A and B are shown apart, each in its own frame.
Chain A
Amino acid sequence: MLIPVLAYYVIFKYIPMYGVTIAFKNYNIFRGVFGSPWCGLDVFRKIFASENFWRSIKNTLVLNFSTLIAYFPLTIILSLMLNEVTHAGFKKLAQSILYLPHFVSWVVVAGIATNLFTQQGGTINQILKSLGADPIPFLSDNRWWIFTYVVCNVWKEVGWGTIIYLAALSGVDETLYEAAYLDGATKFQRLIYITLPSIKSVVVVMLILQLSKMMTIGLDAPLLLGNDKVMSVSQVISTYVYRLGIENAKFSEATAIGLFQSVVNIIILLAADKFAKMIGEDGII
């Protein structure tokens, strides 16, 4: 039964894999990958010499990590909360609305964020002003911008993130709850001793997967939410590669950076997987 799967992988993923070598070549698009001359590690040397490259790596990690710390627990908590709702209609409605932000494109979200968070007329600052407080530079101060970025990301994705956990929670055996109730367990105890352990493997897998994406970051959010003032924290790998792409078809550089990201991600993945196995979970591999 694996045959069609393997065939798929071989054809579509492994054959084009030779393209990875672009990172090591002086790519000429008309002579193709095989026809382009090798240039060793030149491309990598050029990239590593750029201060902006290292800064974008640092920013990528900072943003991803901050987002993860907020997003991960909140998703689980929200799933648990939704799971506790017994009114079927409300639950269905709440779920459907909570994941709506996932579908709204970043273009729209960034526009709304600007209206909400600017100092000179942004809704939140106006409320602060009427309460007598000082306006907060959500979008123009480096640290506050990171906060705003995390908030927007969490808002956008937390509802969607609950889907997996809800699927897991719906598979928990009811009889376990009944037995526990009969044994006199409180709601909280049922949560800790039954619910959480049941979804533990899913949680671990999700965590590993998210960690293994630390080096990768989407383009839309930092590009659209960011601005020139907070560039020292908003310039990330994806925006850097995007700029490289516009200026001139820098295939070699873009591939090289992609390769770098992949290698780091895999290292993190292997480490996280090992750690998971150490604490008794199945891990990914």
Chain B
Amino acid sequence: MNVRLVRNRKITIGSVILYVTLVILVFICLYPFLNVIAYSLSGYNAVLSGKVTFYPIDFNLLAYKQILGRTQIWVSMRTTALVTLMGTATSLVLTVFASYALSKSYLPGKTFFTGLILFTMYFNGGIIPTFLVVKGLGLFDTLGALFIPQAINVFNFIVMRTFFREIPKSLEEAAIIDGASELQVLVKIVLPLSLPIIATISLFYAVGYWNSYFDALLYIQDPDKYTLQLRLRSLLFGEELNTSGRTNLEGIGTEVMSQSLKMATVAVSTIPIIVVYPWLQKYFVKGVMIGSIKG
């Protein structure tokens, strides 16, 4: 750590180019988001006339009031948060087990089981047969249906397994010689060293659960159990489907331009999850491995 700090006291051309490029990229990535927020906070006329760029015109909070003023939205947000938490926890446990076990080259039948798992990434029974299984297990219209059938994502499994392979065997061997069981090795040694990848995979799963709506569409009947995305989709798309010549935003009120509402919807559905990453960043700690192995 000290070596690097000493090096970079000098402001080299390289570092200037680096920082400038990054700043430009940051702005390019930020603009659309600013655009979304601006639209969600702008007045009726400005939105309809397409005048909004990246700052609000005729600032007002009506769109947000329409969305956040409904208890339904909060209920569904709570449901989604619950599913995300339980889902991420379940997924993490199952994925860690799978990745760890299958990263050991000495496990009998390893290729077979890995192949089994990989196969499902490409071939699956489709919506209806899976639906029938879920229903048969009594999970229909329960929150369990939203995370149990989706628990393991093969991509995440493969990535995590790759990371586990990198852990020096000598560490584990040393622990086993000291009398630790497999499970203890996993929990006490491997996991603490793998915090970055665990944080990453948790993030991937969390985002996946937060954004999913299709499973809720299929498996949830009770409106109180609707997830946030499902609720918001009707707001986002509700107006376009009517062929009768009259649209049906009745109840929403007409002062809020639909595009404003759409953008506010986008903001509400993504801001909570965006906040998660910076919080997880502290786990991407460098140099945890220093000194653990000599030689």
Chains A, B in direct contact (C-beta < 8 Å): yes
Binding site for B on A (CB under 8 A): 1-2, 4-6, 8-9, 11-20, 22, 29, 33, 78, 81-82, 84-86, 90, 92-101, 103-105, 107-109, 112, 155, 159, 163-164, 166-168, 170-175, 177-178, 181, 187, 201-202, 205-206, 209, 251, 255, 258-259, 262-263, 265-266, 269, 282, 284-285
Show 18 residue pairs from A and B whose CB-CB distance is below 8 angstroms, ordered by the A residue.
A5-B152, A8-B151, A15-B129, A17-B123, A19-B129, A22-B126, A90-B22, A92-B278, A94-B26, A107-B236, A112-B35, A166-B284, A167-B197, A174-B286, A174-B287, A181-B3, A181-B7, A202-B159
Determine if B149 and A12 form an interchain contact, defined as CB atoms under 8 angstroms apart. Answer: yes
Chain B interface SS verdict (over half): helix
Query: How many of chain B's residues touch chain A, expressed as a range?
Result: 35 or more
Determine if A5 and B98 form an interchain contact, defined as CB atoms under 8 angstroms apart. Answer: yes
Determine if A174 and B128 form an interchain contact, defined as CB atoms under 8 angstroms apart. Answer: no
Chain-A contact segment, one of B60-68, B109-117, B249-257: B109-117
> Which 3 pairs across A and B sit closest by C-beta, in order of nearness?
A16-B125, A19-B125, A19-B129
CB neighbours of B274 from chain A (8 A): 96, 100, 103
Determine if B266 and A108 form an interchain contact, defined as CB atoms under 8 angstroms apart. Answer: yes
Determine if A101 and B29 form an interchain contact, defined as CB atoms under 8 angstroms apart. Answer: yes
Q: Is B101 an interface residue (CB 8 A)?
A: yes
Determine if B18 and A100 form an interchain contact, defined as CB atoms under 8 angstroms apart. Answer: no
B284 to chain A: closest residue by CB: A170
Q: Is B85 an interface residue (CB 8 A)?
A: no
A10 to chain B: closest residue by CB: B116
Determine if B130 and A112 form an interchain contact, defined as CB atoms under 8 angstroms apart. Answer: no
Q: Is B94 an interface residue (CB 8 A)?
A: yes
Indicate with 1 or 0, residue by residue over B192-206, a CB within 8 angstroms of chain A CB atoms: 000011011001000
CB neighbours of B23 from chain A (8 A): 94
- Min CB gap A216→B, angstroms: 9
CB neighbours of A99 from chain B (8 A): 29, 277
Known: A18-B129, A108-B263, A205-B158. A96 touches B152 (CB 8 A): no
